[in-house]
């Protein structure tokens, strides 16, 4: 069994930096230090440490998928017939390179993987399933659920203040 993942020790200032950066990753170090009432150099050092330790993995802009013509969001359950061969490993390697796949999780339950996939329309989603997913070796079943309405979508991690 694997060990519990390592956890980085964070103080209230670190947590405040993370909360501010999640709200607006484009905030400058000068603005960040001003909002925290912290001088520029210590603020920069803390941010740099959070990046180096991997707490901050990267920065990105959150895009409106529908304005980009990506009207279909599908949640795809993929089940493998056999788990002892290398098919799941090969599948993971392929999925990591697919721009249509927003996320892929190895899960428990009836399926082995849960994918979140974007497509322009049903025809392009169908093409993705037929020409990409169904061609992967070892897959026993693919079950898709299409999102009817997006109620909440975020990649922000809840940051609890310490007491």
pLDDT digits (tens, 9 = 90+) for 37-69: 999 999 999 999 999 999 999 998 889 999 999
| pLDDT at position 3 over 60 | no
Residues contacting residue 130 through CB under 8 Å, at least 6 positions apart: none
Q: CA neighbours within 13 Å on the CB side: how many for 17?
A: 23
Whole-number Cα distances in Å, 95 to 42, 134, 136, 139: 40, 12, 10, 13
Using alpha carbons only, what angle is made at residue 57 by residues 119 and 144, rounded to the nearest 5 degrees?
A: 25
Structure tokens at 122: 């049903």
Structure tokens at 54: 């991997």
CA dihedral 138, 99, 107, 124 (to 10 degrees): -70
| pLDDT at position 160 over 80 | no
pTM: 0.85
Looking at residue 103, what is its pLDDT? 97
The enclosing H or E element of 160 equals none
Assign 129 to helix, strand or coil: helix
SS (H, E, C) 21-43: HHHCCCCCHHHHHHHHCCCHHHH
What is the band of 162 on the pLDDT scale with cuts at 50, 70, 90? low
| pLDDT at position 6 over 90 | no
């Amino acid at each position: 069994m694997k060990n519990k993942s390592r956890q980085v020790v964070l103080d209230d200032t670190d947590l405040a930096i993370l909360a501010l950066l999640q709200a607006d990753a484009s905030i400058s170090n000068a603005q960040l230090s001003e909002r925290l009432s912290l001088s520029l150099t210590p603020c920069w050092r803390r941010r740099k440490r959070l990046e180096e330790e991997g707490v901050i993995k990267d920065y990105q802009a959150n895009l409106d998928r529908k304005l980009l013509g990506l009207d279909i969001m599908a949640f795809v359950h993929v089940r493998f017939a056999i788990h002892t061969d290398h098919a799941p490993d090969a599948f993971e390697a392929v999925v990591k390179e697919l721009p249509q796949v927003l996320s892929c999780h190895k899960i428990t339950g009836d399926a082995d993987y849960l994918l979140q996939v974007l497509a322009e329309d049903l025809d392009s989603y169908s093409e993705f399933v037929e020409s990409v997913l169904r061609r992967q070796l070892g897959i026993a079943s693919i079950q898709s659920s299409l999102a009817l309405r997006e109620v909440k979508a975020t990649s922000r991690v809840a940051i609890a203040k310490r007491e």
